[in-house]
């Protein structure tokens, strides 16, 4: 069963008050995306990860041993769960309970360094890497998706706090925010 998206995004009011023009340092809030928890059986993790990596438009984010968060902006939760159902893994659609923030820009590491206790240097946290961590005192999944681009998946209930903290940490870098067009 999939949870329906609410009519209003949880960050709607906060974004209305945020600087919306897109500066080089920018937080883009993704309105619609799918997030499905995938838990493989011990011994099957290699096949499950390979199958997810072969799916176009799906990013497998490391969560823990044998566990990933499959993220897609091209599918809804039900569609992604249906696509993943062929895998020999336990699946839970998390789409309605998560928020995806994409933070990018030349100063993104300096901004995130104020929020995470993880070394984000490109040689340590390479493109494609992800991990669960505390981000601004909130549990989140952080993934490096590009040279100067990171994505943060957080529960809806903490999204407002995380967003406000990111904006405050980015003040000196003129961080702006808006919905993905």
The DSSP string of 79-138 is HHHHHHTTSSEEEEE-GGGEEEEEEESTTHHHHHHTT-SS---TTTS-TT-EEEEEETTE
DSSP H or E stretch at residue 168: helix 156-169
Residues above pLDDT 70, as percent of the chain: 94
109, 52 in Cβ contact below 8 A? Answer: no
55 falls within a domain: yes
Beta bridge partners of 37: 69, 92
Give the pLDDT score at 17: 81
Give the pLDDT score at 3: 55
7 falls within a domain: no
pTM for the whole thing? 0.92
> At 164, which CATH number?
3.30.1360.120
pLDDT tens track for 72-130: 999 999 999 999 999 989 999 999 999 999 999 999 999 999 999 999 999 999 999 99
Give the pLDDT score at 18: 76
80 falls within a domain: yes
Positive or negative, the Cα torsion across 135, 140, 141, 145? negative
pLDDT: which is higher, 27 or 8? 27
Which structural domain range is residue 98 located in? 12-179
Q: Give the count of domains, the chain.
A: 1
2 falls within a domain: no
């Amino acid at each position: 069963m999939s949870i329906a998206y609410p009519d209003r995004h949880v960050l709607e009011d906060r974004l209305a008050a945020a600087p919306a023009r897109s500066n080089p340092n920018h937080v883009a809030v993704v309105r619609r995306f799918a997030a499905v928890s995938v838990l493989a059986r011990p011994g099957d993790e290699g096949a499950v990860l390979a199958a997810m990596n072969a799916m176009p438009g799906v990013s497998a984010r490391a969560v823990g041993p044998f566990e990933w968060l499959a993220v897609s902006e091209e599918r809804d939760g039900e569609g992604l769960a249906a696509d993943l159902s062929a895998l020999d893994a336990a699946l839970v659609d998390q789409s309605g309970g998560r928020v995806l923030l994409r933070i990018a820009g030349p100063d993104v590491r300096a901004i995130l360094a104020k929020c995470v206790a993880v070394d984000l240097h490109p040689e340590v946290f390479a493109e494609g890497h992800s991990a669960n961590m505390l981000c601004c005192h909130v549990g989140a999944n952080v993934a490096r998706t590009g040279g100067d681009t990171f994505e943060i998946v957080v529960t809806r209930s903490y999204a407002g706090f995380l967003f406000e903290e990111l904006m405050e940490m980015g003040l000196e870098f003129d961080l702006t925010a808006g919905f993905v067009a």
